[in-house]
Amino acid sequence: MKENFNKALPLVLAHEGGFADHPMDPGGATMKGVTLTTFRRHFGSNKTTTDLRNITDKELEQVYRSGYWDKCRCDALPSGVDYAVFDAAVNSGPGRAVVWLQVAVGAVRDGGIGPNTLSRVFIHEAKAIINDMLDHRLAFLRSLRTFATFGRGWTRRVAGVRAAALDMASDDLAGERAVALPNLDFDMVRRGSTGEWVIKLQEALEIVADGSFGPKTEAALKAFQEAHGLEPDGVAGRNTYRALGLIN
């Protein structure tokens, strides 16, 4: 639905986190899910990492609307289905998201939403489409070789999307309530760090959670990273948090 973009965007951003620029992250500098490459493509090749870190709400809206929402014609989709398609597009690409929708409604799987796909959408119940789509999305994620590392976070994200999308399909007011979910910004922590995210990390590693990142926390973190195919650098950032299921 046309008015649902402003409801759906905060839900997507809650899964994308804040600024990250870990040297081992192949995506490079990222802010709220927007990479520096994408940022430059939209706003100019002269944009810097600092510009990305200070991305405005208006710029975020432009990237997510033109790059995902509009590409998937979400304005034309039923409430809840639009959000399920939008989040899948952000996480796995617009083409794959549309194919999951087409599979759910029995349309030709060409990765583009045209009259045939839309006509099929509106002869199906929205909640059934959402559930079928997300079942296919989760099955795809489970097939990836990196699922053992990031599967907990991905599974939590899909479950959260399912709950919010079904609420939106039932009642637009429920979708408005879902927008109030907190943004899952995170703090990158390492030896010497203290605070809330050290406690979260320690709890996830199932060690004493005293909020102080010392040698025992570093050793436990490195062991976890090595066991899950991550760079065992003893630094907890986006990829480690996702592997631990702390962010999605």
CB 165 within 8 A of CB 88: no
Q: Which has the higher per-residue pLDDT, 17 or 71?
A: 71
48 with 154, same domain: the answer is: yes
Mean pLDDT calculated for residue range 75-84: 96
pLDDT at 248: 63
Helix count and strand count (H, E) for the chain: 13, 3
Which residue, of 152, 178, 204, is where some domain finishes? 178
What is the tens place of the pLDDT at every residue in 19-63? 887 665 556 788 998 999 999 999 999 999 999 999 999 999 999
Core vs surface per residue 153-187: b (16+ CB within 10 A) or e: bbbbbbebbbebbbbbbeeeebbeebeeeeeeebe
What is the tens place of the pLDDT at every residue in 96-113? 999 999 999 999 999 999
151 with 233, same domain: the answer is: no
Mean pLDDT calculated for residue range 11-15: 90
Q: Which of 172-176, 183-187, 204-208: highest mean pLDDT?
A: 204-208
70 with 137, same domain: the answer is: yes
203 with 160, same domain: the answer is: no
47 with 170, same domain: the answer is: yes
169 with 66, same domain: the answer is: yes
pLDDT at 161: 96
In-domain check, residue 70: yes
- CA-to-CA distance for 195 and 115, rounded, in angstroms? 53
- CA-to-CA distance for 78 and 220, rounded, in angstroms? 46
122 with 233, same domain: the answer is: no
What's the total number of domains in the chain? 2
131 with 224, same domain: the answer is: no
Q: Is 46 exposed, middle or buried (0-12, 13-18, 19+ CB in 10 A)?
A: exposed
| DSSP output for 197-229 | HHHHHHHHHTS---SB--HHHHHHHHHHHHHTT
In-domain check, residue 33: yes
Residue 138 is inside which H or E element, if any?
helix 126-143
95 with 211, same domain: the answer is: no
What is the tens place of the pLDDT at every residue in 200-235? 999 999 899 999 999 999 999 999 988 887 889 999
pLDDT at 174: 45
- CA-to-CA distance for 42 and 140, rounded, in angstroms? 29
28 with 133, same domain: the answer is: yes
Q: How many residues does the chain have?
A: 248
In-domain check, residue 186: no
CA atoms 11, 14, 99, 103: torsion sign: negative
**Which residue range is the domain that position 220 belongs to?**
196-244
Average pLDDT over the chain reads 88
In-domain check, residue 108: yes
CATH number at residue 102: 1.20.141.10
Confidence grade of residue 69 (pLDDT, cut at 50, 70, 90)? very high
In-domain check, residue 184: no
